[in-house]
Structure 1
């Protein structure tokens, strides 16, 4: 039994012995078969692994390629949606004014929120709806003249179709984010392929991101031009908030280059909205297709008519022509001031409040400290005294213009050419800061004047105060004295302090016609006298 079990066990474990003719047992010839099967099995395993890699690689590669193509389509599709009817800016404006956010369900009475229609509105409408193309535009004017309101009104008329608007910012990263929000472009930050890259999605500069966004916008504009035939409109509001430094100038140059290119090809109409003159100075250097629209205060007839209609409609009050004329003489045709006055119960009192606010703003920024000022504040007093000198010059000029009133009765605000204003102040660098903080304004034709009619009245009140001229002159003299001390070096001779004496002799020098001064101490001076 043991022998039978062993033979069965050998067969089971593959140790099978064969029975030869002599009856003896020997090991079967299996090793040769095993040796021949190993290479085939290795080849089979390698082929299986290669096939798996090919399948997986092809699957991943094809999937990645299809996702990449889909993502590119999705980016353009999302950007096209940003120019569909209904702009977020209009939504926010509607919420702020508490009016319905659609054009169709708004009543005529509710649609008259902007109750003053400017003459420039027709041109702004043509720019925004795409009728006026082939140029890019710069709207320039003082704060509160109605530039942004006209743009919003024009957008409402077409329900924001084909238009995108955003606010500029001094920080380039914030500018980049706001541009991306307005275009519905995330700068590939939502791209899943960035998870497998070593560099992060924001590992770049803001200018490069803005350039990439404009590349995508250009593709969207090309498709729209083929389909609709009108350009897109990109409105950059408050562009003057950019800093006048290297980064700000680079960004402004990038924007202008794109605006020039798109205007030439009728792809995108870019509209810059600025309160400050320095934007115009920078853009004018490279401008070929730029149109400048100056938005100023309303003329007297239009301002009085609009104010009278508003008081009649909402207050049931028939204001007399004398009161309306007095209101205009105090605040002029600035829309932001007329809006405040029209909504107040006592219009004349509100006018006085506006003038007082402007006066205190100017004094807080530029009041002079007189002869007693400390030398540590000299730099600030240079800034303040230059503003006061310019304000005094405008007030003196106003007296001459009072004899030459405008035929239409509008304000004849005195203005001085920019180069003359710098000559009066003896400084060329302060005027831009005055324009930025709304003390003075520089018009598109390079004239300097008060920022508004209330500010001009504030100048007049300050300069007419008793003793103002002497106070300003004392301040200027103190500044000159401090500068003179800074340029002067004092030498102290100890011998003179102790009672010594020196003698100064003017003698001929070594060269012909040359004179030199010789200083002799007291003892040597006595010896010279004895000789």
Structure 2
């Protein structure tokens, strides 16, 4: 009893509070961020309130057991009905009272009371510390759980990424395949339909049947280069063939001098985004556009090969890619690389029968580039309309724009003036006075030639010597073509169809004394080079009319010779140093004499035979400088060239 009293007083004086121990539970476990259950005990006010409210709810209806402070060997026995234990001064008194009541009710004396106390209360024992092996085992267990959760998370992410990658690749091929289905993906066919609404509003050309077979996929194993002068109807024939197929298995691309813009247009035609819409790029260090345009074009053609293999099995015909205005690609290092890439793809894809590529160009330089590596290349040369086709085109156009039947006499005169270029015929047919409009076309072409290659004469400054070379070379070639045209008229007479004089390319370079200017003239639409046989001629009939008028002006040969001499003098000054007595060239005389004292005397006798009045001469007019002066040229044009429409009418 003494020991019990001492222990009870010690517990009461020190106000010992005995805390209950319970198992903690893991809640709100994040599988991507494994945490231990100790996080539940973090210093979080809201979490503590939730835990306290949960404990209060669980403790409702459960009795509170009060532990007397009287024994050192007190053990707390936790029953299912006991929530927690509180020991204090007031609680200990209440516990003693209850205990005394029990002892008196039992009537068994001290020994029985002590035995009852041992049965009802057990002494409190502190928890034993875990051993090092148990701690290590617990640590390994937690590491295993964390590793398993992390591995499962990565596995889910990996499967999702692979599934998305497979889906994206399949979607890219699906979109590219849809680009070759029926419909106008590039909107080029829509614009062409707006210009050809009426049935029969089209003049058949000899090349039309061949282009129809190419577009429909009947010709396999070749790729084609369609060449011809600007405005001769190449693109219109291609679009007309595409319209017949309703753009099935065909796509249309417009070339550009910038490879980046060409890359975008190719992606639009093929419905290929170059992986710019790929969500995986959000997690990549190097973006999909951290590259060059040529590499993107290579990627597009690689995907195109996969689509072509599927479609050739499904439809049995190759796909067709039309690259329009290919001459717009610059003839520089980047442009040559792009043309080489396109030709390599054209060679491989056409050889396997998967894709047929068509290059449409106005200039000759592209043919020279393709000729070097071309083994399956075919060249289609498109010419102007003949007389019959030109008259038919004018009749159709006049019926469409003015709803009238054309006068065939006027139609033949128009053909005599401007020839059979569809671009010029379409422009003239929209005007009320077609003859006047034809004269304006000729004046425009002649003015263009003079603006680009006008002669400067002997007063040309030495700073523009390169321009003088460019002009004189063009004039020399022009004069040669005019002489050939006059000889042709004398020998053969006026032909039913226009036959412009032409020279081999190597001969034209000899006449110009330069081999690099001919490509510039071709780009300026002054001269043209036939890709089929490499012959040089005037770009069009109106341009040839301008050549004839310029060369027929009095003083033209003299002006050309003066410009050539001036160019030669400037070149000579740049190479050597000379002393020239100009008075001798002007007809003067020098008299050198020696007197008795051995002194030299120099005297000069001037001559009146020189060109003293050259500065007062009127300038050489090779074209009128006013609008009124042009009418005199218009009156003489048809007089110089007799029309043969009467003979053509008799034949018809």
TM-score, with normalisation over the residues of structure 1? 0.85
Q: Tell me, what secondary structure is at the counterpart of 2:225?
A: strand
Structure-1 residue corresponding to 2:332: 245
Which structure has more relative contact order (CA 8 Å, sep 6+)? It is: 1
Candidates 185, 189, 202, aligned match of 2:276: 189
Matched, 1:282 2:369: yes
Candidates 467, 478, 482, aligned match of 2:555: 467
Deviation of 1:158 (Å): 1.1
Structure-1 separation of matches of 2:162 and 2:323? 36
Structure-2 separation of matches of 1:429 and 1:210? 31
Candidates 9, 27, 52, aligned match of 2:17: 9
Matched, 1:133 2:220: yes
- Cα distance, 1:276–1:95 mapped onto 2, change above 3 Å: closer
Structure-1 residue corresponding to 2:5: none
Matched, 1:455 2:527: no
Candidates 82, 89, 94, aligned match of 2:190: 94
Structure-1 separation of matches of 2:194 and 2:295? 39
Structure-1 residue corresponding to 2:176: 79
Structure-2 separation of matches of 1:125 and 1:74? 32
Structure-1 residue corresponding to 2:257: 170
- Cα distance, 1:367–1:58 mapped onto 2, change above 3 Å: same
1:90-239 aligned within 5 A: 91-95=187-191, 98=194, 110-112=197-199, 114-239=201-326
Candidates 412, 428, 450, aligned match of 1:325: 412
- Cα distance, 1:309–1:396 mapped onto 2, change above 3 Å: same
Structure-2 residue corresponding to 1:59: 156
Candidates 388, 404, 418, aligned match of 2:475: 388
Structure-2 residue corresponding to 1:482: 570
Candidates 386, 392, 403, aligned match of 1:305: 392
Deviation of 1:32 (Å): 4.0
Contact 2:192 2:239 in 1 (8 A): no
Candidates 128, 131, 135, aligned match of 1:38: 135
Structure-2 residue corresponding to 1:49: 146
Deviation of 1:344 (Å): 1.5
- Cα distance, 1:36–1:317 mapped onto 2, change above 3 Å: closer
1:305-384 aligned within 5 A: 305-312=392-399, 314-384=401-471
Deviation of 1:31 (Å): 3.3
Contact 1:406 1:412 in 2 (8 A): no
Moved more, 142-151 or 249-258: 249-258
Contact 1:401 1:412 in 2 (8 A): no
Structure-2 separation of matches of 1:11 and 1:304? 114
Q: Tell me, what secondary structure is at the counterpart of 1:260?
A: helix
Structure-2 residue corresponding to 1:511: none
Contact 1:10 1:17 in 2 (8 A): no
TM-score, with normalisation over the residues of structure 2? 0.69
Q: Tell me, what secondary structure is at the counterpart of 1:88?
A: coil
Any unmatched runs of 5+ in structure 2? Answer: 1-7, 23-70, 76-113, 580-597, 599-652
Q: Tell me, what secondary structure is at the counterpart of 2:490?
A: coil
Structure-2 separation of matches of 1:301 and 1:172? 42
Structure-2 separation of matches of 1:432 and 1:58? 62
Larger Rg: 2
**1:5-43 deviation per Cα after TM superposition (whole angstroms, max 9, x unaligned):** 5696246489x975699x9x9994733446554233322
Deviation of 1:124 (Å): 0.8
Structure-2 separation of matches of 1:96 and 1:4? 105
Deviation of 1:47 (Å): 1.9
Tell me the C-alpha RMSD between the 2 structures. 2.6
Contact 2:184 2:190 in 1 (8 A): no
Structure-2 separation of matches of 1:17 and 1:413? 130
- Cα distance, 1:204–1:118 mapped onto 2, change above 3 Å: same
Contact 2:224 2:378 in 1 (8 A): yes
Structure-1 separation of matches of 2:508 and 2:448? 21
Q: Tell me, what secondary structure is at the counterpart of 1:403?
A: helix
Matched, 1:446 2:454: no
Q: Tell me, what secondary structure is at the counterpart of 1:319?
A: coil
Structure-1 separation of matches of 2:320 and 2:407? 44
Q: Tell me, what secondary structure is at the counterpart of 2:251?
A: strand
Structure-2 separation of matches of 1:320 and 1:164? 41
Deviation of 1:69 (Å): 0.6
Contact 2:217 2:320 in 1 (8 A): yes
Contact 1:341 1:347 in 2 (8 A): yes
Any unmatched runs of 5+ in structure 1? Answer: 100-108, 492-521, 523-531
